[in-house]
Amino acid sequence: MKTLRHFSADPTTRLVAALLLTSVLAVACGKDEKAAAAEGAAASPAATAAEPGAAPAAAKPAMTVTTAKPETASLALQLLANGNIAAWQEASVGAEVPGLRLATVSVNIGDVVKKGQVLATFARETAEAENLQGKAALMQAEAAAESAKADADRARSIENTGALSRSQIAQYLTQEKVTRAQHEAAKAAYAATQVRLGYTQVRSPDEGVISARTATVGAVAGAGQELFRLVRQSRMEWRAEVTPSEVGQVKVGQKVEVTAASGLKVAGTVRAIAPTADPQTRNVLVFADLPKHAELKAGTFARGQFQIGASQALTVPAQSIVVRDGHNYVFVVGADSKATQRKVETGRRAGDRVEVLQGLQADEAVAVQGAGFLNEGDLVKIVQ
């Protein structure tokens, strides 16, 4: 008690003892914390291993999709073909009288004309002069015929009196016949000059549209020279090329849907099938009448589909078809909600349905909305 009381009484000794005690306590606390951390780290895997039945964290779906199963539907059977649009018939309008000069040209390419409409006129001076000359010759022949007839009538009236010999009477009667023939010839010549005068006006032989023009004002046209080309009645036809193995499926009167180069779709009707094949392409031409439309141009390319019947087909929504690297795929969604990429072969289309020829079973569900964003093995959430 005396020693303790003496130790406590020294201030310096008390300070040193307090510092030593603090250091010892700090070292002891650090060791305890390290030991506790080590024990915790060791206990964590042990605890995990000790609970094998605990559920792991659930995987999150990569995409929300809708699904649908294939449906069996009746789809039209179609025969595809290519060909050209051409004029149904063309009329060549030319000069019927040679040696006349073109005075006026009234129409141009693309103009719609009516039957009998004046397309061009030739200078009329020469034709009018010939017409007047023919008219004068006709009047002269008519007068000669009337005079000869009068002489013949007088000769016949005194034939039995003996005033004229038989040879003179025969001469009067013959002269009557000659002048009558000359009168008919003059009448025909005059009619020809009138026809020639009428040919100075070039008229359309039918209604339609002008497809070509070579007429030039001031040019002297030769006989038969083409001045205009006319698409009769503005009608067009589609000349499809069909292989000999397919032509048996096409019948006269059959319907065909023709798609023009502009994208216009029109309904045509098969009018005729060529009896022979082209010696170069070995294809057979099928002629289909088309309705009148301004976008149908002769000489342009067009493709068409002949309707040849119908058959049952397995179809899926068009949205479920994913095109990658030039191939068609669908994503089949299984019971585990995982998407499996499946390559398929597609066929006909009808509205928003696509025929699947190969690669898919009728009882398999495919992703529809959102299918284009899926990858192989993606977990999906299915919504109605």
pLDDT in tens, 127-147: 889 899 999 999 999 999 999
Considering only residues 66 and 61, tell me which one the structure prediction assigns the higher pLDDT: 66
* Banded model confidence at residue 14, pLDDT cuts 50, 70, 90: low
pLDDT tops 90 at residue 345: yes
Considering only residues 4 and 206, tell me which one the structure prediction assigns the higher pLDDT: 206
> What residue spans define the domains of the chain?
2-49, 64-75+312-382, 79-88+234-309, 93-220
Q: What are phi and psi of 124, to 5 degrees?
A: -100, -5
Q: What are phi and psi of 198, to 5 degrees?
A: -70, -30
Q: What is the pLDDT of residue 37?
A: 42
**pLDDT over 90 for what percent of the chain?**
51
Instruction: Please count the other Cβ atoms lying within 10 Å of the Cβ belonging to residue 190.
Output: 21
* Banded model confidence at residue 42, pLDDT cuts 50, 70, 90: very low
Mean pLDDT of 293-319: 90
Alpha-carbon Rg for the chain, nearest whole angstrom, is 53
Architecture of domain 64-75+312-382: Beta Barrel (2.40)
Q: What is the pLDDT of residue 170?
A: 87
* Banded model confidence at residue 118, pLDDT cuts 50, 70, 90: very high
In the chain, the amino acid numbered 312 is Q
Of 78, 83, 77, 76, the residue nearest 242 (C-alpha): 83
Question: Which residues fall within 8 angstroms of residue 128, CB to CB, at 6 or more apart?
Answer: 197
Answer whether 323's CB lies under 8 Å from 104's CB.
no
The whole-angstrom separation of Cα 1 and Cα 4 is 5
Domain 79-88+234-309: give its CATH code: 2.40.30.170
Q: Partners of 286 in the beta sheet?
A: 240, 273
Q: What is the pLDDT of residue 224?
A: 83
Q: What is the pLDDT of residue 187?
A: 93
The 10 Å CB-count burial string (b at 16+, else e) for 92-120 is ebbbbbeebebeebebeeeeebeeeeebb
Indicate the pTM of the whole model: 0.57
**pLDDT over 70 for what percent of the chain?**
85
